[in-house]
Amino acid sequence: MNLEMQRFKADFFKALAHPLRIRILELLSESDKSVNEIQSLVGSEGSAVSQQLTVLRSKNIVTGTKDGNRVIYSLRDPMIIELLAVARQIFNNHLVDTITMLDKFYENETEEST
């Protein structure tokens, strides 16, 4: 069971390991969208967006619902929104640490040059 969970997590994070897929998920966290809407918002070719949506669908991260001749995509689990927020917080923490380290470095450089 533990190995199965680790594999699931690894596959899940592999599916997230692409900047365009992350951007698509961020857009879908705001509201459901069609391929054309996503394409317009990310400024990418339709084939690239469709390819990334296929990956996300295959891992059950997003779902597509037919609406006439178009498909409307949505997040399968709203917890994705929280996951993206936590990832943003982790990034911000790393950024703060880096800025603090650089500030200390420049303080030391300034002290040594005087």
pLDDT tens digits for 29-66? 999 999 999 999 999 877 999 999 999 999 999 999 99
One domain for residues 113 and 96: yes
66 and 11 in a single domain? The answer is yes
Residues 90, 61 share a domain:
no
Least Cα distance to 91 among 7, 19, 31, 28 occurs for: 19
Number of separate domains in the chain: 2
* 57 and 92 belong to one structural domain: no
Residues 70 and 55 in one domain: yes
Q: 83 and 40 in one domain?
A: no
Q: Range of 85's domain?
A: 78-114
Question: Please, which pLDDT band fits residue 95 given cuts at 50, 70 and 90?
Answer: confident
pTM for the whole thing?
Answer: 0.79
SS (H, E, C) the chain: CHHHHHHHHHHHHHHHCCHHHHHHHHHHHHCCEEHHHHHHHHCCCHHHHHHHHHHHHHCCCEEEEEECCEEEEEECCCHHHHHHHHHHHHHHHHHHHHHHHHHHHHHHHHHHHC
